[in-house]
Chains A and B, each alone.
Chain A
Amino acid sequence: MTTSQDATSAPSPELAPAFDLRRLLRDNIRDYGMFIALGVIWLIFTFTTDGLFVSGRNLVNLVNQAGFIIVIAVGMTLVIVIRHIDLSVGFLAGFLGAVAAIAMTQWGLPVWVVIPMTLIFGILTGLLTSFLVAYVGIPAFVATLAGWLGYRGALGLVTRATGTIVIPNATFNALGGGFVPDIPGLTFLPERHKVTLLLGLIAIILFVVSSIRTRRNTGPQVDSLSTPLFVLKLVVISVAIAAIAWAFAGYQGLSWTAVIVLIVVLFYDFVTRKTVLGRHIYAVGGNPEAAELSGISVARITHVVFASMGMLAALSGILYSARLRSATTTGPLLLELDAIAAAFVGGASTSGGVGTVFGSLVGALVMISLTSGMNLMGIDNSVQYIVRAIVLVLAVVFDVVTRKTAK
């Protein structure tokens, strides 16, 4: 910021010309760039795999594979927004997944006790981290590196006697690999899963109605889309939702993992954008001193964000072990790094205050789509890592460049 500028000597902003393509691109490419990138990646894989990539079966697999990463990425985004990081969540997820498995197999607890209990353990571990960060004042990087070591050890200890713990509970395992049952007795569209189609339709209606209502309430603003573009956006997203619902419905319909991911994403999107808590999280990320001076407790926000991270790590551990129908001795390796990459690909910034839930969802889908598509193409594993490295760097470069030109 240059301090010599001021309101009166700066040229007053002229009314923008009706259609200024450069300005339009500049203002919108940052918000929609990731969605476009995801679309392009999907198109490329659709061609290179002869359509296999967008088959219902592969899309369902994709979501089920991505589920435990997406929920972690959502939590990680908020951690990054408030200028911290959490390296411990990978092994924490593995450890809590193992605890859930032990609770069912050895303690004989029913699923409906085990799941909330595991989530509460997650919250408590998150509070332990935030105690170290906000109260003791240890940098999150160090505190959670200790967590990485500690939970890795804890996972080793609890699985030492048994090795991999097989989970026999069908209800629990359905969270990772099961499908929402269809309404029985419907005869139309016999090949398609009706509940999924219905949900897709509801999603489109809700999306369109709420977009229009928001726009009408607030009126056109400097940063909003022009009307034709707004309509275009509505159409593109509606078609995308319809296409995905149709593809899902053609296989076995909506998986439980997809349902859980949807709930998590919608809930966190709501909290971050609409509620006072969400506003405070972004205020703390943007300027912690200013937030504190405005009466926002930075410590309290830090506790809330890490508690939520812990809870989502627990959920991730549940999804992961349900998917494998077992708790392994190593847990989901490199999960924390995948989640961090997803958040940055999705537009989060290391300097804090920036990053959205939907951005991280898209970031996670980009990364998992790359893995899935390259697997289908039979590309070597090591090459895959390099491709993902390049995409990560490109995404961040894109973010930096568009941020600069936006100023």
Chain B
Amino acid sequence: MERSAERTPVVELRDIKKYFGAVRALRGVDLALNRHEVLGLMGDNAAGKSTLMKVLSGAYIPSEGGIFIEGQEVHFASPMDARRMGIEMVYQDYALANNLDVAGNVFMGREVVRFKLGPFGVMDYPHMEKETKNLINRLKIDIPSVRQKVERLSGGQRQAVAIARATAFDAKVIIMDEPTAALSVAAIDKVLDLINQLREHGSSVIIISHRLEDIFRVADRMIVLRQGRKVCDTPVSGDIQDFRERVVAYMIGARNDFAEASPVL
């Protein structure tokens, strides 16, 4: 088989297992994400979606299994390792520091240094604020000032800040954990448009959602997790009603494309 750079997945997870004590959150999951692809990730509560994505973002170290970036195996010891490899994640709870302003959150952990005074890096405020402004304009986010403290922002604005942070550094892969869960219909539209925009700009996106409509609208392919296992990996196509019925069957365990034995009906 031909393995040109175009065909190698940007990210590949192989047989990922993650245990929290006795809880087996992931029981061996494979996942491949291709270039310019939007991948939907669905599953019931506690199926392991967030855990799987946190393994990819470096927040969790897998108990077993391998992570491959463009064909190369990597070992993430921390989220910073993953961010350095171009993997950014928008966490379900946004992971913002409410006491810092918008620019401070966008650049959290990656502050731009103007010059160093011994061990102290002096921050370049004007640069960070300008970059944040550009970013916010590009994403068409409605925020009055990049110096607004996050504690004063609404839920949608906070989420916009979290997304802005994930897209600030030309990420290869952007993971969004339930980005539409807390939003109004109009705000959901914006997020989905943004995902399309990111794909056009050359990023690959993984979106976790409970709303099949979202997945149907933006995703090229979809994976369903159930009880820590992948039960479905399918292109997104066809009629949404048929699609919904199939997905529900996978989610409740009536179907499983990856079962060792024949599926229990």
The interface of chain A, by Cβ under 8 A from chain B, is 1-10, 12-13, 217-218, 221-223, 271, 274-277, 279-280, 282-283, 285-287, 289-297, 352-354, 406-407
Rounded to whole angstroms, the CA-CA distance of A222 and B119 in the bound complex is: 33
What 9 pairs across the A-B complex have the smallest Cβ distances? A6-B156, A295-B80, A294-B109, A286-B97, A353-B99, A7-B156, A286-B99, A290-B95, A5-B154
B120's contact among A217, A277, A292, by CB below 8 Å, is which? A277
Whether the Cβ atoms of B100 and A293 lie closer than 8 Å is no
Closest to A403 in B: B151
Whether the Cβ atoms of A222 and B156 lie closer than 8 Å is no
Residues of B within 8 A of A291 (CB): 97, 108-109
Rounded to whole angstroms, the CA-CA distance of A140 and B144 in the bound complex is: 39
Is B207 at the interface (CB under 8 A from chain A)? no
Whether the Cβ atoms of B151 and A287 lie closer than 8 Å is no
Rounded to whole angstroms, the CA-CA distance of A246 and B18 in the bound complex is: 68
In whole Å, how far is B126's beta carbon from the nearest beta carbon of chain A? 6
Whether the Cβ atoms of A295 and B79 lie closer than 8 Å is yes
Closest to A267 in B: B120
Whether the Cβ atoms of A277 and B121 lie closer than 8 Å is yes
Q: Binary interface profile of B, 94-105, with partner A (CB < 8 Å = 1, else 0)?
A: 111111100010
In whole Å, how far is A237's beta carbon from the nearest beta carbon of chain B? 22
Closest to B96 in A: A290
The interface of chain B, by Cβ under 8 A from chain A, is 57, 59, 78-80, 83, 89, 91, 94-100, 104, 108-111, 113, 117, 119-123, 125-126, 129, 141-145, 147-148, 151-152, 154-160, 181-184, 186-187, 190
B100's contact among A7, A12, A282, by CB below 8 Å, is which? A282
Closest to A10 in B: B154
Whether the Cβ atoms of B155 and A295 lie closer than 8 Å is no
Whether the Cβ atoms of B182 and A4 lie closer than 8 Å is yes
Whether the Cβ atoms of A294 and B120 lie closer than 8 Å is no
Whether the Cβ atoms of A7 and B145 lie closer than 8 Å is no
Residues of B within 8 A of A294 (CB): 79-80, 95, 108-110
Rounded to whole angstroms, the CA-CA distance of A5 and B184 in the bound complex is: 8
Q: Count A-B contacts at CB 8 Å.
A: 143
**Additional A-B contact list (15), CB under 8 Å, known A7-B156, A13-B144, A407-B152:** A7-B154, A7-B157, A9-B156, A9-B184, A10-B154, A218-B147, A222-B144, A222-B148, A276-B123, A283-B97, A293-B95, A294-B95, A295-B78, A295-B109, A353-B98
Q: List 18 A-B contacts (CB under 8 A).
A: A2-B155, A5-B156, A6-B187, A8-B186, A8-B190, A218-B126, A271-B120, A274-B122, A275-B117, A276-B120, A277-B120, A285-B97, A286-B98, A287-B96, A287-B97, A293-B89, A295-B78, A296-B108
Rounded to whole angstroms, the CA-CA distance of A280 and B91 in the bound complex is: 19
Whether the Cβ atoms of A6 and B155 lie closer than 8 Å is yes
Residues of A within 8 A of B181 (CB): 3
B158's contact among A1, A222, A283, A296, by CB below 8 Å, is which? A1
Whether the Cβ atoms of B99 and A7 lie closer than 8 Å is no
In whole Å, how far is B121's beta carbon from the nearest beta carbon of chain A? 4
Q: Which of B109, B110, B155 has the most CB of A within 10 A?
A: B109
A287-B97, A293-B59 are contacts. A275–B155 as well, Cβ < 8 Å?
A: no
Whether the Cβ atoms of A6 and B99 lie closer than 8 Å is no
In whole Å, how far is A135's beta carbon from the nearest beta carbon of chain B? 17
Rounded to whole angstroms, the CA-CA distance of A296 and B80 in the bound complex is: 8
Rounded to whole angstroms, the CA-CA distance of A352 and B151 in the bound complex is: 13
Residues of B within 8 A of A3 (CB): 155, 181-182
Residues of B within 8 A of A271 (CB): 120
Residues of B within 8 A of A4 (CB): 155, 182, 184
Whether the Cβ atoms of A221 and B98 lie closer than 8 Å is no
Closest to A289 in B: B95
Residues of A within 8 A of B155 (CB): 1-6
Residues of B within 8 A of A218 (CB): 125-126, 129, 147
Closest to A295 in B: B80
Rounded to whole angstroms, the CA-CA distance of A274 and B117 in the bound complex is: 11
A3-B155, A218-B126 are contacts. A8–B100 as well, Cβ < 8 Å?
A: no
A222's contact among B89, B122, B126, B147, by CB below 8 Å, is which? B147
Rounded to whole angstroms, the CA-CA distance of A9 and B152 in the bound complex is: 16
In whole Å, how far is A152's beta carbon from the nearest beta carbon of chain B? 33
Whether the Cβ atoms of A282 and B109 lie closer than 8 Å is no
